[in-house]
Each structure stands twice: as structure tokens, then as C-alpha cells.
Chain A
């Protein structure tokens, strides 16, 4: 099992540019979560999906952020336009309804907006 795969590992972009973060969950997992980690706010849940359907996006900071899950093996988190305050580590995690204790995190994408 390759685990949760996120790409890219690092992203540096200029303010105003569109940024797309990608996530491949563990095969068979029916929940997918996007988190953001900053020094100031710690780890925050942005949005989560169940069976590809967004369930709760109350953590998405503003309309510049959007997330999609077109199929069970792929999700994207898009920021458009990006701002310096979006600089953070973004984690994707997945889990199964049958064993949600084992919520597996990806290695994260470190985003820097300059």
C-alpha cells in the first residue's frame, strides 16, 4: 500500500497565481480530508468528502479556496488567486468508515506564496 500520495511536495508561487494541490487517497478509503497547518493556527480541517461528495466545507477560509473529488482516487485543492497568507503545509488524509481510527495522512504539500 503506497499510502496517501500528495503532489507536489513543495510549491512556490507568486501572489495572484492559481495553485492546485493534488491528493490520491488510499484505495478503498471512502473519506478524504484536507487540512492546513500553520504556525499561528495549527492544524485545521478545511473540507472533507465522503464517497466523493463534499460533506463539510465550513473550514474553507474563503471563496478563493475550492476542492473537488471527481472520483474515488483523486482530489484537488485549488487556491485562486493565491495570497502570501495562504503559505502553509497542506495535508490530505483518508480513512475508511470501517476503521476511521486509522486516518492516514499524506506527507503534505508545503506551499509558499511570495
Chain B
């Protein structure tokens, strides 16, 4: 079974609009972490935002926020006020708990390609 599912292969958004990139995950651990990375066309992986499973508030980092719904096992990335430079691949990733041995293994989803149109 897929541990991280990103159902949107591609998304587009108008500049200055908000966009939500979906991510659902599957784990039986109580302690885990969820990450979002951006991969522009140049290829590097850029860390955007992190949410711990015990964090009660949704994580925010500038224009990025993580809509964490634990019961639904979803961790959607919201980008507000999209910019042309946001065009890139976006990956959701999960780190499982110490007990399962997955603590150091970031498991990545397949990614969503976002295109921001002027």
C-alpha cells in the first residue's frame, strides 16, 4: 500500500491566487512527521514546511501552510498568493516513528507539478 499519496499529477493556478496541493498518508505510528519539498526545474530539493503528528496547530512558513487533518490522514499544502516562481514539482513526505524503524526514512509521494500562470 502507498504510504504517501498525491493524487494530483498536475495543477495550475493563476498568479496571486491560492492553491492547495493534496497529500494523504498511511501509518500506524502515533508519532510521525510530514514534510513538503519543492523541486524547481533546476532539480534541487528545497524543504518548505514540517508538521509533527503531535502538533496541535497547523504549520505555517510565510506563504506556505500545512492543512493537517489527522483523523483523515491528510496533510495538504496551501500556497497563498501564488507567484510565477512557485512553478515546480512539490513532494509530500513522511517520517515514521522510532518504534517502526522508519524515523530516518523519509518516504516521498509521487509529486504534483504546479504551474503558475500570469
Contact = CB atoms under 8 A, between A and B. Distances in A.
A89 B44 CA distance: 10
17 contacts: A31-B104, A42-B108, A43-B93, A43-B108, A45-B106, A45-B107, A50-B104, A55-B104, A56-B105, A91-B45, A101-B33, A103-B47, A104-B47, A105-B45, A107-B42, A108-B43, A108-B45
Contacts of B50: 101
B19 interface: no
Contacts of B46: 105
Nearest to B104: A48
B68 interface: no
A: contact size bracket: 20 to 34
A102 B106 CA distance: 12
- Interface secondary structure of A, over-half rule: strand
- Interface secondary structure of B, over-half rule: strand
Interface in A58-109: 89, 91, 93, 100-108
A108 B43 CA distance: 7
A32 to B, nearest CB: 11
Interface of A: 31, 33, 42-43, 45, 48, 50, 55-56, 89, 91, 93, 100-108, 110
A105 B106 CA distance: 12
A30 to B, nearest CB: 11
A89 B106 contact: no
A53 to B, nearest CB: 13
A45 B110 contact: no
Contacts of B106: 33, 45, 103
